[in-house]
Amino acid sequence: MTVRKVLALLIGAVVCTGVLGTGCAREQSDASRRAAQPSGGSASPSASPHPAPPRPVLSPLPGLGPDMRARLPSASRQALVVTGATESSVRAQAVLYERYPTKGWRAVAGPWPAHNGLRGWTDDHVVGDLQTPIGVFPLSDAGGLLPDPGTRLPYDQDPLFHATGTGHLGEPLEGSFDFVIAIDYNRVPGTTPLDETRPLGEEKGGGIWIHVDHGGPTNACVSFSEEHMRVLLNTLDPAKNPVVVMGPEAALAR
């Protein structure tokens, strides 16, 4: 073999080695990049946070529509709902509810039968119309002819709660005011139910109470049996800002 051929073979080997070395380095670099990335060449997504637990569904007061619910004080956690069948009905049904933070409104007493005004219900009560006002009203004061049965409401025992005469059906009124709870319609809260101050004026009536039933319709009050009055008085808690929600079914559903 000539010297020229030997030199050609040596030069070819060196060039081949350099080319192979360059290709191997490139392949190793590409492999390193591929190892650092997941399949597809995109960055791995960040881990999804744990979903928040679902909020509890709070039960609203049954039978109340959006307009009447909007009248409920936000701080109220007790509501006595008195529902008449129609605008002219003199009989009603009452249920006492309490609001719990994780459950909403739940019935705690009732249903109880009740009487209301002789001429039913009204959105615009005036003195002497014999109709019970529709709406949401606080319950802040109580009293009666008999001693305090243990209520947490301010209680005024007074002989002036003595009821006499007969009702609209000729039934005796004796004992009707043995226990009363003032409905805060056209009155000054924080006073005895006997207080006759009328902030809206005398023509808008007043002295509307929850009292002991005498077996017939009232002038404008709501009445329950003595047994249920005792339960109501001993359950209402001023710390829970109790209210009465009352009216015919259609009005409450507005």
Which residues lie below 8 Å from residue 30, measured CB to CB, with a gap of 6+? none
**What is the bridge-based pairing of β-strands 243-248 and 135-144?**
antiparallel
CA distance linking residue 177 with residue 159, whole number of Å:
10
Could you tell me the residue ranges of all domains in the chain?
1-30, 66-252
How many helices, marked H, and strands, marked E, lie in the chain? 4, 11
Q: What fold is seen in the domain 66-252?
A: L,D-transpeptidase catalytic domain-like (2.40.440)
d(CA 63, CA 84) in angstroms, rounded, equals 11
pLDDT digits (tens), the chain, 254 positions? 444 443 344 344 433 344 334 443 344 444 444 544 554 444 455 555 666 666 667 889 999 999 999 999 999 999 999 999 999 999 999 999 999 999 999 999 999 999 999 999 999 999 999 999 999 999 999 999 999 999 999 999 999 999 999 999 999 999 999 999 999 999 999 999 999 999 999 999 999 999 999 999 999 999 999 999 999 999 999 999 999 999 999 999 99
Q: What DSSP line would sit under 41-55, residue for residue?
A: SPPPPPPPPPPPPPP
pTM: 0.78
Half-sphere exposure of 3 (CA within 13 A, CB side): 0
